[in-house]
Amino acid sequence: MTIKFGLIGGGVMGEALLSRLIVRGIYQASEVIVSEPQPSRQSFLKQQYEVAVTADNYLVFTQAQEAVMLAVKPQAFSAIAQELADIITTEHSPLVISILAGVSLSQLEAAFPQLPVIRAMPNTPATVGAGMTALCSGAYTNAKHQQTAQQIFSAVGEFVEVSENLMDAVTGLSGSGPAYVALMVEAMADGGVAAGLPRAVANQLALQTVLGTATLLHESKMHPAELKDRVTSPGGTTIAAIAQLERAGFRSALIEAVKAAAQRSQELGKG
């Protein structure tokens, strides 16, 4: 069978995408080849997903007919680009999808001249199929390439298309955002313990409250402010809590956190 999809890098995010693509039937295992330098990791991926594995990035790039995903550490990008430089031809021009943080479209297009390139920024919930991915397209991509990328990332959650100048803001919000939510869940559980709850009960209450609220907002399409108003009764417990959060600068702190992460992303992108 023809190899359609190539994955360069079999780490956590690469494996998350691989597993969901196969489970969802977007690619058959026999249509996938993965390059991974660690022999133990190669054996695991081959056994777990029944895909072809290799240590040769060259082989992945030449065999994959539809798309090649770069899922390595950003520091490894220049070495891989040099390794693949002499095999790039317009006769064989798979879509190159990069999930490398901070590697710009211009860097990707310099490494893969005249090839269709899409830059993607998924976040860690993609590992459980609940991710949020931002996509931006290079100069040589067409609607078919965009559809391929959308299909791939819809397997691990939702996606949104943005212009590249917004990728740092995306990093600050959804890329780093899982850490803010985790911190909030931890703090809520600590509050429960401070109010007298056992730790296990407090953790369960905090986590399910955040999960349930996010699900409610997602499914009802309700504005967050509307939900807050519905929960907040006159002179009640919730408004007392919200007043305290406002005194502590809760919303302002989150806004500034997103801005700080976006700024840091911009700095890292400049090297």
Q: What are the structural domains, with CATH classification, of the chain?
A: 5-167 (3.40.50.720), 175-269 (1.10.3730.10)
- The alpha-helical segments, DSSP class H, found in the chain are 12-23, 39-49, 57-63, 77-84, 105-111, 143-154, 167-170, 177-194, 199-220, 224-231, 237-247, 250-269
pLDDT tens per residue, range 128-177: 999 999 999 999 999 999 999 999 999 999 999 999 999 999 999 999 99
- DSSP lists the bridge partners of residue 97 as 69, 118
* Structure tokens belonging to residue 15: 């494996």
Q: Which helix (H) or strand (E) holds 140?
A: none
pTM > 0.85: yes or no: yes
Side-chain half-sphere CA neighbours of 216 within 13 A: 14
pLDDT at 205: 98
Nearest CA to 144 among 189, 94, 215?
94
Q: Which segments of the chain have a pLDDT < 50?
A: none
Rounded Cα distance, 148 and 224, in Å: 33
Q: Could you give the 3-state DSSP secondary structure of residue 220? A: helix
